[in-house]
Every structure is written in structure tokens, then in C-alpha cells.
Amino acid sequence: MIHPTAVIDPGAQIGADCFVGPYCVLGKHVVLGSGCRLHSHVVIDGHTRLGQRNEIFPFASIGLKTQDLKWHGGVTWTEIGDENTFREYVTIHSATGDGEVTTVGSHNHILAYCHLAHNVTLGNHIIMSNVATLAGHVRVEDRAVIGGLAAVHQFCRVGKMALIGGCSKVVQDVPPFMLADGNPVETRTINRVGLERNGVSEKAQTALKQAYKILFREGLTIPNALTKIEAELPPLDEVQHLVKFVRQSERGISK
């Protein structure tokens, strides 16, 4: 199902049951998995691979050259998993350095005008609301939610099941399971609604609430807070993930 106005390089690989709508443009090194649907005016170029059953809406642009001024040529990649939705005017840029990759997982819902810059790594089951922006090298873990018009500074991380409020300015890591909001962003409490929706146990929610108080309300240094969490809270998977995430932070965490 390829519309006659689509412009497709002979080198592009299109899987079974794909739909390529009017005025779409596919470059030489593009690979579409089976069942992908490109509505119209979609541009995919560069060394870009998409998995199965991705849906891409009009005027999205995927896999084109990075905006990073450090780009000096070479082969860079954009790798996308399965069953993602990319709404109107989404932009996803290829990586900067030769051999590097911009990566998007599976089952993500990326709404209109969102931007994923070079070398971003996006996990699975993530929602980015309209005009949310990720700068270069940002990493977002599974099931995070990023509100509309939020902007995340380069090299920051957004933790698992974290929620970032709309119009927030993120300049440090947002810890997993937390709700962060503001300009600059502050960690306000645990993301209770997100935890409940994702089936996190009440026991784990209670432990995360206690961990939040130790990290953000007791005035402790980060090393001392982590030591106290490990000593006083049950070694649940969620607590251990939070501690590991914070301990590995290079930019610091949003407090």
C-alpha cells in the first residue's frame, strides 16, 4: 500500500503490510518493519531502522542529520522498536559521532511537536506530551511521563515511572518513581498515580514514600541519605533501583 506520490529510494526496505501515504519520502538506508503506517508527508532518512507496527503521522521527520555542531560526518544511526506512535511534527535526529545511535524502544506514545535530539535513548511505554523536548544524550527509562512543553537539558536522565509536569525545566536527573515539576524542576513527591497504574505494590509505594522523605526532606547529603535508605528500608526492587539511579548520577538529582 504505497501511494503513487510517495518518493522512495530504491535502496529502502519496506516490510510486509506497510502503508506509505501521500508525499512521504524514504531515504536509501531506511528499513521499515512489517505493518508500519505512514499517514502522509512523513520524511525518514539516514541509516534508520524501524521495527513493526509503528504509526507515524503527517510531517514527522525521523533519522535526519543531527543539529549538533560537533557533527563531522561518518555513519550515524537511528534505531526504533515496535508499536510506537509518533504524532504530527515529531522530530527525531540521528546521532552525532560516527557509529553512534539515537535509540527509541517500543510502545511509546510521542505526541505532536515533540523533539528527540541526537544520541537520545528512550526506553519503553513512555509518554511525551505535546512539544516536550529532549536535548542530546538524554536517557529516559521505561514508563516515564513527560508533560507538555517540558524541556530536558542534555545528558540528563529521567528515571523509571517518573512524571515531569508540563512546562518544567529539567537541568538535573529526575529520580525514578518521583513526580517533578517547576522551573527549574523540583522533586515534589512520589508518582503515586503512575505507581498504581503500573501495578507497584502498596508495600513498595510506602517504602518509596519513606525514601523520598529521606532524600529530599531530611537535609542529608546524598551519600548519607542513600546509606540511611539502605539501612532502614526493605530491599525491594523499586528501592534498590532508586538507590542505584541516584548513586550513578553525574549531573546530580533534581531536589
pLDDT band at 56; cut points 50, 70, 90: very high
CA 172 – CA 74 distance, rounded (Å)? 31
Residues 135 and 219 in one domain: no
Domain count along the chain = 2
Q: Using omega within 30 degrees of 0 as the cis cutoff, is the peptide bond preceding 234 cis?
A: no
Q: What percent of the chain lies above the pLDDT cut of 70?
A: 100
Question: At which of 153, 175, 190 does a domain end?
Answer: 190
Write down the pLDDT at residue 238.
98
CA 174 – CA 254 distance, rounded (Å)? 6
Read off the pLDDT of residues 17-34 as tens digits, 9 standing for 90 and up: 999 999 999 999 999 999
Residues 151 and 72 in one domain: yes
pLDDT band at 61; cut points 50, 70, 90: very high
Q: Domain with 36 in it: what CATH number? A: 2.160.10.10
Residues 242 and 180 in one domain: no
The arithmetic mean of pLDDT across residues 205-232, rounded, is 97
Write down the pLDDT at residue 3.
98
Packing angle, helices 222-232 and 237-247, rounded to 10: 160
Its pTM surpasses 0.75? yes
Read off the pLDDT of residues 123-157 as tens digits, 9 standing for 90 and up: 999 999 999 999 999 999 999 999 999 999 999 99
Read off the pLDDT of residues 175-217 as tens digits, 9 standing for 90 and up: 999 999 999 999 999 999 999 999 999 999 999 999 999 999 9
Residue whose C-alpha is closest to residue 185's, from 222, 132, 136: 132
CA 65 – CA 102 distance, rounded (Å)? 11
Question: At which of 162, 190, 218 does a domain end?
Answer: 190
CA 195 – CA 176 distance, rounded (Å)? 10
CA 143 – CA 197 distance, rounded (Å)? 10
Residues 80 and 171 in one domain: yes
Read off the pLDDT of residues 93-113 as tens digits, 9 standing for 90 and up: 999 999 999 999 999 999 999
Looking from the CA of 30 toward its CB, the CA atoms found within 13 Å total 24
Neighbour count for residue 99 (Cβ, 10 Å): 9
Q: Which uninterrupted H or E stretch holds 180?
A: strand 178-182
Write down the pLDDT at residue 69.
95
CA 16 – CA 3 distance, rounded (Å)? 15
Say which DSSP state 124 is in.
S
CA 27 – CA 42 distance, rounded (Å)? 11
Q: Which domain holds residue 222?
A: 196-247
Write down the pLDDT at residue 24.
98
